[in-house]
Chains A and B, each alone.
Chain A
Amino acid sequence: MIKTKGLTKYFEKIKAVDDLNLEINEGEIFGLLGPNGAGKTTTVRMFNTLTLPTSGTAEINGLDVVKEATKVKWLIGVSPQEMNLDQELTAYENLRLHGLLYKMKEIEQRIDELLSWSGLAERRDSLLKTFSGGMRRRLLVARSIMHRPKVLFLDEPTVGLDPQARRQIWDIIRDLNRQGVTILLTTHYIEEAELLCHRVGILSHGKLIALGTPEELKARVGHFVVESIDDGTTNYRLFDSRKEAYNFAQQRTDDVLIRESNLEDVFIKLTGGRIEK
């Protein structure tokens, strides 16, 4: 559904995205992970036709995002990191303008549907200024799917939300995916990627340094972690089997913790953390 070849973006002299080769399948929830400034948002903006690549190509459903930008725009839904709903308009007005921009028919019906789907029916005529962070994020996602896109881009969809609001967004994402929407989400909350994504890619300094299912990535670095404290800093050692981890732990005289590895361990290991193996 999404395919890139050598996708690269420079801002002046700074390389934001470096030779990205990636393929995302139809119906997949794909997570793009990486520390702040790794190039996630720039990558998504290139898919969204908002930023022009310096070199390389990106295709969505076989359409080039530069040469066939207008056709691409009909296919995609975008929920940017900055909640860019119009603060001075009501929820209803925000959705109505979106429907008009996409020349939709039956706008009113779709608005009612989306407002009740996102649990905001009662706030239909309130100005966005008065909405909480979670409500804004739900409306933002509702707006991005209003024109029934085939591919949905969610840039940091849960940043700054409380645990309850975050779970609501997760349910919304799963629900959309069940309806057949291909989803690309960026996040630096790793448990989010682990819970939601079929596959993840890890970006670091603009380069894709790992790609696979969460299980595959964990297998690559080791299934078990021993946490120990040496000179006041926590060390994480990764082991392929429980036995190896146990043997290591037995040699220690102080307190250690043995646990299964998670994507966060993979992430820290691959992006240059202190994990030893």
Chain B
Amino acid sequence: MNFYPIFLREMIIFKRRLLRLGYLFSSMITPLLYLLTFGLGLGRGLSVEGVPYLMFVVPGICAMSSMTNSYTWIATSISVGRLHFKTFDEYLVSPATARDIMLGEVLSGVVRGLFASSLILVAGSIFGAGFPQSPIFLLVWVLNCLIFACLGVVFGFLAKSHEDTATFSNFFIIPMAFFCGTFFPIDKLPAFIKTFLYFLPLTHACKALRTSFLGQEVKIVSLGIMLLFFALCFYLGVVTIRRSNR
């Protein structure tokens, strides 16, 4: 096991970016806009599934922001490192294994996902949505970051150009961000769409984050499906790295 140098590299760069204040604000701005327009603007006085809309939407935006941040950072860092700067060859030529590389990158994606979405939770609690208490919330939160960091590695490796990672994001990540129950309950959608959404990881992340956020019981099946997704995506990532010499 030698994932530390790969993780460390991403963390050094993350820290350097954080020290530039512009970066910090720009990464906060989109989710904050959602929180303001949907949570406080559109949703004022509204209640959904028996709770004030703000409390409904904060865990949803948290799921969304942890997803996009885990995915985007890693996918971009890897595709640019592979295609443009060729820095990734340094890992591939070293004795670090595919599993080391995968683990190092994924963990750094988790840190970035957790960091960005924790800002949402803080903002939410300032606006009066409350703060999550349950340890299950933390578990689901981390699991969500893990899944999408793994996908970030997979697509960072499959990308033939830098635009490819954005294409995948437009067709997969962004639709999920809106339709998986982040902003509205999916129960009211037609049955066939609901069935389709049931097979997407973010649907379960939203559901589980929301129920644990509100102090309700989390369905084991949601946790199970997320774990399954994580295992599958991690495996896919390792295989993709291993096959990169073809």
A residues apposed to B, CB below 8 Å: 48-52, 70, 73-74, 76, 78, 80, 82, 84-89, 93, 97-98, 100-103
Contacts and interface: CB of A to CB of B under 8 A. Distances in A.
Given A73-B94, A89-B9, 20 more contacts: A50-B93, A50-B245, A52-B246, A70-B97, A80-B86, A80-B89, A84-B86, A84-B87, A86-B9, A86-B87, A87-B85, A89-B12, A93-B12, A97-B5, A97-B9, A100-B8, A101-B91, A101-B95, A101-B96, A103-B95
Given A50-B93, A88-B16, A97-B8, A103 B2 contact: yes
Interface string B62-104: 0000000000000000000000011101111111110000000
Contacts of B13: 88-89
Nearest to B101: A101
Which label, helix, strand, loop or mixed, suits the secondary structure of the A interface? loop
B4 interface: yes
Contacts of B85: 82, 84, 86-87
Contacts of A93: 12
A246 B198 CA distance: 88
Could you say which of B9, B13, B86 has the most chain A C-beta atoms within 10 Å of its C-beta? Answer: B9
Contacts of B16: 88
Nearest to A52: B245
A40 B51 CA distance: 66
Contacts of B8: 97, 100
Contacts of B93: 48-50, 73, 76, 78
B2 A101 contact: yes
Contacts of A73: 93-95
Contacts, number: 61
8 contacts: A50-B93, A50-B245, A70-B95, A82-B86, A84-B86, A93-B12, A101-B91, A103-B2
Contacts of A97: 5, 8-9
Contacts of B2: 100-101, 103
A101 B9 CA distance: 11
B94 A102 contact: yes
Nearest to A69: B245
Contacts of A84: 85-87, 89-90
A100 B94 CA distance: 10
Nearest to B5: A100
Interface in B3-51: 4-5, 8-9, 12-13, 16
Contact of A49 (B9, B86, B90, B245): B245
A100 B2 CA distance: 8
A102 B96 CA distance: 8
B95 A85 contact: no
A66 to B, nearest CB: 9
B5 A101 contact: yes
Contacts of A86: 9, 85, 87, 90
A52 B243 CA distance: 9
Nearest 5 pairs between A and B by C-beta? A100-B5, A84-B86, A101-B94, A82-B86, A73-B95
A108 B17 CA distance: 25
* Most A Cβ at <10 Å: residue of B2, B85, B89, B95: B95
Contacts of A100: 2, 4-5, 8
A238 to B, nearest CB: 40
A50 B92 contact: yes
B156 to A, nearest CB: 16
Contacts of A78: 89, 93
Interface string B103-130: 0000000000000000000000000000
Interface string B210-246: 0000000000000000000000000000000000011
B87 A85 contact: yes
A193 to B, nearest CB: 24
A157 B226 CA distance: 48
A100 B1 CA distance: 12
A84 B134 CA distance: 45
A51 B246 CA distance: 6
A100 to B, nearest CB: 4
Nearest to A87: B85
Interface in B115-157: none
Contacts of A70: 95, 97
Contacts of B94: 73, 98, 101-102
Given A51-B245, A52-B246, A89-B9, A101 B97 contact: no
A93 B11 CA distance: 12
Contacts of B90: 84, 86, 98, 101
A70 B242 CA distance: 12
A15 B97 CA distance: 29
